[in-house]
Structure 1
Amino acid sequence: MRRAGRVLLLLLLPLLLLSFTGYEASAAASSTGRIILDNRELTMPKGIALENVNGSVMIPVRVVVENLGFQVLWEQKTRKVTVQQDGKSIELAVGRKTANADGVTLDLNAAPKQSGSTVLVPIRFVSEQFGLKVGWDNMDKTVYLTGGLSSGTDTAAIPTATPTATYSPAPTPTATPLTGTVEGNVTGSATPTPLPLISPTPEGSGGIVVGPQVKGAVFSENRLIVAVTGAVKPTVTTMSSPDRIIVDFPGAAFAPEFAGSLPVIVANGSPQGKLDVTGYPLVSELRYALFSVSPPTVRFVIQTVGSQPYQLSTDESTGLVTIDLNVLSNVGGSPAVPVGSGKPIVVLDAGHGGSQPGAISVTGKKEKDFNLAVIRKVGALLMQNSLVEVIYTRTDDITLGLQDRVNIAKAVKANLFISVHANAMDSSSTNWNYVNGSETYYSRSESLPLAQIMHKHLVAGTGFKDNGVRNKSLHVTRETSMPAILLEAGYLTNLGDEAALYTEKLQDNLAREIAAGIMEYLGL
């Protein structure tokens, strides 16, 4: 039965393939363009055309969100648009490159603009805030939006629109085929030799393709499944900084149908791009490319949040190769997060990131940068003594939801969850720029002992005023199942705190104290 299921999966693979990284293309001035929402064309306002602003395709926000059932409010005097649904509120203003989502400031890659009575916003904003996948067909200037169907809609009965390129929040694809580099990433300015889509054919073969071919790939149920023809033995290696699982298919190249049936980028004659890993918080990115030409090698890179165990399996009858991440330890290798090693697992969370900068300091610095710098230093210190296993929620400037952070901690069965932040006061508050100091937050009573120990070390690390340990219902400290605390190091709206927080000296001191607090709590 299992083998029959895999055969069926192979047959259905082209239909199961998820969106790949693409790009935003320029809208032609001679065409108004179209917007397709879940296979239904939306009516564009009269006289309004899709526009390109600094490389970003701009679409009418009212047209999209009203078709999703959202309420749209327009304030003519301030030229501000407010979008509301189910208690969520998003505000953006014409000419301003930031938006506000439930009190969180978000960066926009292009400022909204007004055309008549219509406000145009970048499709990046639409995709990130309204849970839509966005595609752009440069041939007929069409924006494809998918994912706006209500929960009661039978999505299986609706055909999927296939744009020529699929948009991803990442600005450019990172998996670019180039012979001789570690992962196939572009280094320097050299132009690689055009790469073949299929394996080379020897003389006298009559043009018949020999050698393995990669026909398709999909990431589903926390598994990478690759369809391959021909005899090929995949090799798997792991690397760190960042953590990633590298899957190579030596001697294999992409089959013609791999590029022909999918909305992927074709660069230098070969497909490259990323598989959609939305909904899998332990996987931050999954990219693919033709790693080398002679001999040809197809490479998939699974970038993970922390060291991730996997199991490799090959079904010769179907040609399916599976990298399964739903395991406790690597088959044939050492555990990624050792099970039964006796080492506590500590999750380090750098607050905010990506499109969510967090608080903005009095001199324009972003909280997310401080948070990540400190967390990286803490992790490096903890890994030096090898007494604990360190898992990061993020090691780069990526957007990560609150529940994603909780899911990561639960998935690795963490013993502790430590989140680092910097605070801020609203400028409308009395003496807002005089408020300063460090405080520690917890939500559940079992987290109080951890909070007390960590707060002692927090104050020692910053040297700021002691604002005490505070109980507050915060998502990451409330929804986690292990002792969890959130450290507010200082106030970015206070000139004294801010000046110190962005120095290497304070960050180093704070990292040492946080690491010491973790070790003290764990009794190590």
Structure 2
Amino acid sequence: MAALLLVVSPVAPVAAAERTQTAAMPAAGAAALATDARLGLHPDKTRFVIDLSRAAEFRVVTAADPWRVVVEFDGVAWAVPELPAPKGLVRGVRRSEAGGRVRLELETSGPAKVLWADMLRPLDGRPPRFVLDIAPMDPLGFLAAQAAAMPSAAAPSPLAPGVQPVALRAPAPPPAAPATAPPAPSQPAALRSFPVPRSKPPLPQLPLIVLDPGHGGQDPGATAVTGVHEKEITLAVALEMRRQLQATGRYRVALTRDRDVFIKLRDRVARARSLGADLFISLHADSISRPGVRGLSVYTLSDKATDREAEMLAQRENRADAIVGLDLSAETAEVAAILIDLAQRDSRNQSLRLAGLVVDRLGREVALLPSPLRSAGFAVLTAPDVPSVLIEMGYLSHAKDAKLLTSASHRKRLAAGLVQAVDGYFGRARS
């Protein structure tokens, strides 16, 4: 698994493709003291800050399986009473020490890119600070970087034995302090080496949620004991969920159908992928011959179905669009299989995480089936590069479930729970 590597060390400038930043090292035998660590949430990034007694050498790596950002310091003594609680993109922080090296692992909710990493001089009474800015990254962009790194014969990264490093060119940092503010005598005069951009980078697009109301047109789906068809219920819930998601101002929303039309299962998946969906949620309401069974359940793609899909995607005639954003048609069979597996593995992990959030949030509002987290080979869950879940909202063969699903107030509660699950998935849950 390749990683993205940013190294900061006290060496002379190198070629642009291998550009590094410089930071002063403490005197021999004198460790820099880390006294505080904190996470901050900004509209376009998550910031990690460590207060230090003096500047220190650091290295930053982004990696997958699990998604994480790893920071290592040399010559630092750790005196921070408590690691920061999860915030923004960061789901947890772990620390380890060995051989005079402090290693911090920031587990992230998805692939992350380093916007900026630097050691700031003391200013306005503040101590020297290590500042790291990270933002969500398209999994396909991460895979593309891995694909570019695979032929490399570079030496393994010191942070991840056996992993091939990739040079990372970071965007420019925030503006430096005014030139009239002198640096502290014990610190280097310049700690930043990247040029200031002429214009601000565009803000990232809002996540796109694709909702898939099951059935439609000549395919009515199940019929409730009240006579209502599944296709009508799924569309009503999808429209209500779209309204609530858009009302947050945090998401873009698309529907595979917004009226009573028939759409093939594979076309639903293709639409989500062509739009660049961040999540795909398929809505259904089941029916069964046993009228006593009721409750909600959430499905992700089964392992066997994943294997069959990977085999089909890896066939040469399918490689051009096997993963959106990457044309694998020129790759060897081994490289194509690895990249497809990476994409599927990430999508499956993220799908399971979303499914767990749905059960957690909706379990407070509606009845659940025993063992509500399930897997199956549903065709609408086969996108290798889009986290996908199928929600069976209840059983239309059960009188109570059927009555609830035809109730506008219940559909609002159901949609609200799903919005909370989506918020939790993107780390935007409100307390």
TM-score by length of 1: 0.33
* Structure with larger RCO (C-alpha < 8 A, sep 6+): 2
Which structure has the highest helix share of the two? 2
TM-score of the superposed pair, with normalisation by structure 2: 0.40
